[in-house]
Amino acid sequence: MVRVQFAALCGAFVFASGGGAFAADHVVTMKGAAHSPEMVTAAVGDTVRFVNDDDQNHAVFVPTAGFALDLGKQEPGQEKSYVLGKAGTFTVECVFHSNMMTTVEVK
């Protein structure tokens, strides 16, 4: 019960710091050496959560100019988050599997 209340307080803080907008969570999973979904439409301030629910290592890497990002290797069961800081469209790749790709459009 204490944990639930704590999470609620944290959520309220995020909303307050986002200039009144409600920040959303977008989950991208990595099962079967494939990203799902392959297209994410989000808003500035939203969070993308990359979840490796596969049985092998993956990685989050963004080569798009202006959005370059390297969250590094993710082992099975690991999760990493990224807060979207500005509008635009970028591609998320996995350095180990060239066919793994998600396009993120930030409005």
Site residues for Cu ion per CB under 5 A: 58, 94, 96-97, 100
Dihedral sign for Cα 26, 73, 64, 98, please.
Answer: negative
CB of 59 to Cu ion, least distance (A): 6
Nearer residue to Cu ion within complex by CB, 11 or 76: 76
Residue pair 101/38 in contact by the 8 Å Cβ criterion: yes
Q: Which is nearer to Cu ion, 33 or 43 (CB)?
A: 33
Q: Based on CB atoms, which residue is closest to Cu ion, 26 or 58? A: 58
Q: Which residue number has the CB closest to Cu ion?
A: 94
Q: Of 43 and 71, which CB lies nearer to Cu ion in the complex structure?
A: 71
Q: Residue 31 gets which letter from DSSP?
A: G
Q: Categorise residue 42: left if φ over 0, alpha if ψ from -120 to 50, beta otherwise.
A: beta
For residue 80, the minimal CB distance to Cu ion (Å) is: 13
How far is Cα 59 from Cα 2, in angstroms, rounded to an integer?
A: 34
**Residue 12 Cβ, how far from Cu ion at the closest point, in Å?**
35
